[in-house]
Amino acid sequence: MTTATTPAIRHYLQFADLSADEYTYLFDRMAIIKKKFKTYEKHQPLVDRTLAMIFEKASTRTRVSFEAGMYQLGGSVVHLTTGDSQLGRAEPIEDSAKVISRMVDIVMIRTYEQTKIDTFAEHSRVPVINGLTNEFHPCQILADIFTYIEHRGSIQGKTVAWVGDGNNMANTWLQASEILGFKVHVSTPSGYEVDQSVAGLRSADSYKVFKDPMEACRGADLVTTDVWTSMGYEAENEARRKAFADWCVDEDMMRIAQPGALFMHCLPAHRGEEVQAEVIDGPQSVVWDEAENRLHAQKALMEFLLLGKL
């Protein structure tokens, strides 16, 4: 007697959850899905599918791109926050995961510790996507690398300069560099370094640490940064303002990078803090493409997690 086998659920909790081959497929899919969107061609492979979005932190881009993206794919969306659900009243994550995943087809979560989303995924019957945790922001790097490819071609063998906090974005760039074969030059103030074990890296081969942010940018193909104070760390704001004063991406840093270097920022940005207005609003900046590409990246990701390779 043969038994029907259900394919294993695929989650997207960190960048390392997909292989290099799967990323190649996804970047191709993003281009196809983006073209359909731009030419008003209907693309609705997820009719009757429902996405639950759980936000324990604020969001503009992640919320709009997942919500609009799911509707564009033919599905629908349920939006939950800590304040308006039992999650804020200490219902165990395990119980929430069991209940929510019996009612919807896919779940996106933005929360604090990575352990929370890992626990949710362990008890979920459906794919779970990380919409940002303290440790990782894989959907953002998915869009960022797609943006790089659109502007400059493959990122393999290139150098990305990370200037600023050793945070969720930095950790995810580092994971991506191991999988996709590029280098990251990291410069953080002391006390805010990346931690190889938190970033979940196999080795230190794909990145190099620089004390001086200018040196990290020398010869880079892409310069990128993020806010000095991430969500959840607001109590450290004053100490961080002092510590990060020299970690502002300015025109000198862009000049020392490759002549065709791009500037990226996941947004929201603080002009005059982590980046000069002349850089983020200047000719090398691709931040608006980067933000738009969250939509196309997430549509391709949801399609892949629910339907596999088409």
- Site residues (vs ligand NVA, CB under 6 A): 132, 167-169, 226-227, 230-231, 266
CB 220 within 8 A of CB 185: yes
Binding segment (CB under 6 A) for ligand CP, from list 55-63, 74-82, 85-93, 96-104: 55-63
- Write down the least CB distance from residue 150 to ligand CP, Å: 18
Q: Phi, psi (5° rounding) for residue 139?
A: -65, -35
- Identify the residue among 14, 62, 229, 276 touching ligand CP (CB under 6 A): 62
Binding segment (CB under 6 A) for ligand CP, from list 56-64, 116-124, 157-165, 244-252: 56-64
Residue 137 annotated to the active site:
yes
Distances in Å between the alpha carbon of 203 and those of 148, 155, 174, 177? Answer: 24, 20, 10, 11
Catalytic-labelled residue, pool 175, 266, 284, 296: 266
Show the site string, 137-166: x = touches ligand CP by CB under 6 A, - = not.
---x--------------------------
The yes or no reply on residue 295 touching ligand CP (CB under 6 A) is no
CA-nearest of 88, 120, 215, 108 to 161 is 215
Residue 61 annotated to the active site:
no
Catalytic-labelled residue, pool 140, 258, 276, 284: 140
Residue 14 annotated to the active site:
no
The yes or no reply on residue 59 touching ligand CP (CB under 6 A) is yes
CA gap 69, 298 in Å, rounded = 7
By beta-carbon proximity to ligand CP, the closer residue of 143 and 256 is 143
- Identify the residue among 43, 250, 267, 270 touching ligand CP (CB under 6 A): 267
CA gap 102, 174 in Å, rounded = 34
Bridge partners of 262, per DSSP, are: 222
Residue 217 annotated to the active site:
no
- Identify the residue among 52, 161, 199, 266 touching ligand CP (CB under 6 A): 266
Task: Determine the longest span between alpha carbons in the chain, in angstroms.
Answer: 70
By beta-carbon proximity to ligand CP, the closer residue of 117 and 256 is 117
- Write down the least CB distance from residue 78 to ligand NVA, Å: 22
Burial 191-225 (b: 16+ CB within 10 A, else e): ebebeeeebbbeeeebbeebeebbebbeebbbbbb
The yes or no reply on residue 60 touching ligand CP (CB under 6 A) is yes
- Write down the least CB distance from residue 39 to ligand CP, Å: 26
Only one residue has tokens 């281009």, namely: 31
Residue 185 annotated to the active site:
no
- The site partner of 169 among ligand NVA, ligand CP, none (C-beta below 5 to 8 Å per kind) is ligand NVA
Encoded tokens for 66:
């997942």
CA gap 266, 268 in Å, rounded = 7
Residue 140 annotated to the active site:
yes
CA gap 198, 219 in Å, rounded = 28
- Identify the residue among 11, 34, 49, 61 touching ligand CP (CB under 6 A): 61
SS (H, E, C) 216-268: HHCCCCEEEECCCCCCCCHHHHHHHHHHCCCCCECHHHHHHCCCCCEEEECCC
Cα 296 off chain centre by: 13
Active site residues: 110, 137, 140, 226, 266, 294
Positions touching ligand CP (CB under 6 A) are 59-62, 132, 140, 266-267
